[in-house]
Amino acid sequence: METVKSFKSFVFCGDHKASKSIYLDNVSTCSVGGLPINDASLKRMLEANRSKDIIFFSCGYPLMGCKEIEVIKKLQNVPVNIRTIPYHHKPQSRGFYKDDWWKRLSSNDIDILFENWSEILNYYYQEYEQMVLLPLVSHYFDIILNIPNKAMNIVGQFNRVVDLSPLDDIDEIHYNDKSGNLSEVGFAKIKPNIIKWLE
């Protein structure tokens, strides 16, 4: 690992990839494993880092938190800025991949989860002008999951995004596990694309 020299203050925050996939010394990270986009903890996390020059946001994946699909459906008529769920009271509802429950979702439910994710992601992106999306989880699951919905199609609509194309081949050497946590080799592939945002 090495230290990044930058005059800009920055933080990696979001889902667990914000800490488990970053191989830099002396950098600030804050993360919650399996962090859903509706999680009230995320809103507090981002607000606590508002003073940073750059927020690298590891923005999760639309299916994270899908056990609360019925709650999420009811929230679709609520303004995006208050569309939060207190997942800290039910941490077992975070994430999705290690539990086969998500495979029982209907295609309509998946569409709703993707639309919900898109709307809230856009809200945070507009609210925090210093945010740079670091869609590690979205990139990984878009490739390994056989569903038609693609999170990176949504991410591609934004301008402030770390280019993850060096990881397109999903080589096993780039990952430490089946959850998509980067190895040091994988991180080295995208490190220049992160550093450029700090120049």
Tokens of 158: 């934004």
From CA 81, how far away is CA 46, in angstroms rounded? 13
From CA 183, how far away is CA 115, in angstroms rounded? 31
- Sheet with 28-31, edge to edge strand ranges: 28-31, 10-14, 54-58, 131-133
From CA 75, how far away is CA 78, in angstroms rounded? 5
pLDDT digits (tens, 9 = 90+) for 102-111: 999 999 999 9
pLDDT digits (tens, 9 = 90+) for 92-150: 889 998 888 899 999 999 999 999 999 999 999 999 999 999 999 999 999 999 899 99
Contacts (Cβ under 8 Å, ≥6 apart) of 133: 57, 59, 121, 125, 155, 158, 160, 161, 162
pLDDT digits (tens, 9 = 90+) for 19-43: 889 999 888 999 888 899 999 999 9
From CA 195, how far away is CA 176, in angstroms rounded? 22
pLDDT-derived band at 170, boundaries 50, 70, 90? confident
| pLDDT of 2 higher than 60 | no
| Mean pLDDT score, 57-71 | 95
